[in-house]
């Protein structure tokens, strides 16, 4: 049987949305299946490009309120969303894999996400959301990319194109040489054939007759 996550008395007495966020944090279960209702954001997905190794701040359009619980989720390519951090009465609580280089700026009601010394594995879409009574309200969605990754992709495609051109040129040269060699062989055979006249016995017969005539005269 699978393990059961136990909630403390403080968390059991808290609002339902904190129960849900704690469950997401401790089990990494696909928590979006537990929403009674989901409100999608009217904001477009933003794209933010950084250099690997730099620190980055991702803005949240939601304002902290006692009536709501704020949280950040990350969705990597081809993976389920993961809880990054959630706000609680005792401060911020980070997910198991996001407690080293991730911070939250909570000044003046803000809930912005800070990533220190970014790495390529930080690539993904980050969602800021608030939860109340099991209703999730999605706010900002930011796709974080790194310029080095794009450069490597472009460089790889360029190198592949150059190699393809070189291979095509080499094959074309070899094909032309082969065709030229075949043409020279045909011409040589034709010239040799022209040097060999068909055999004829007529001159030989005439010469024999002349010699015979001369002998008889003497």
The reported pLDDT for the residue numbered 122 is: 94
Cβ atoms of 118 and 56 closer than 8 Å = yes
Q: Which two tokens stand for residue 23?
A: 């469950």
Domain ranges of the chain: 9-148
**CATH code, residues 9-148:** 2.60.40.10
The reported pLDDT for the residue numbered 124 is: 93
Q: Is the pTM of this model over 0.85?
A: no
Mean pLDDT in consecutive groups of 10 residues from the start of the chain, 218 residues: 37 45 49 48 76 92 78 88 84 86 84 93 91 74 81 54 61 70 61 56 52 48
The reported pLDDT for the residue numbered 31 is: 54
The reported pLDDT for the residue numbered 120 is: 92
The reported pLDDT for the residue numbered 118 is: 94
């Amino acid at each position: 049987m699978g393990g059961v996550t136990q909630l403390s008395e403080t968390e059991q007495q808290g609002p339902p949305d904190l129960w849900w966020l704690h469950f997401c944090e401790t089990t990494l279960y696909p928590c979006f299946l537990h929403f009674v209702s989901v409100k999608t954001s009217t904001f477009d997905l933003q794209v933010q490009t950084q250099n690997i190794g730099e620190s980055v701040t991702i803005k949240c359009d939601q304002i902290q309120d006692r009536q709501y619980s704020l949280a950040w989720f990350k969705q990597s390519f081809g993976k389920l969303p993961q809880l990054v951090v959630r706000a609680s009465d005792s401060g911020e609580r980070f997910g198991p894999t996001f407690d080293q280089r991730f911070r939250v700026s909570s000044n003046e009601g803000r809930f912005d996400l800070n990533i220190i010394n970014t790495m390529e594995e930080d690539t993904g879409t980050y969602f800021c959301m608030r939860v109340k009574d099991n209703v999730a309200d999605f706010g900002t969605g930011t796709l974080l990319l790194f310029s080095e990754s794009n450069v490597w992709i472009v460089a790889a495609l360029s190198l592949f194109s150059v190699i393809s051109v070189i291979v095509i040129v080499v094959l074309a040269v070899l094909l032309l040489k082969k065709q030229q060699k075949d043409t020279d062989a045909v011409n040589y055979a034709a010239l040799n054939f022209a040097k060999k006249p068909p055999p004829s016995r007529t001159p030989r017969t005439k010469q024999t007759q002349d010699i015979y005539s001369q002998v008889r005269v003497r």
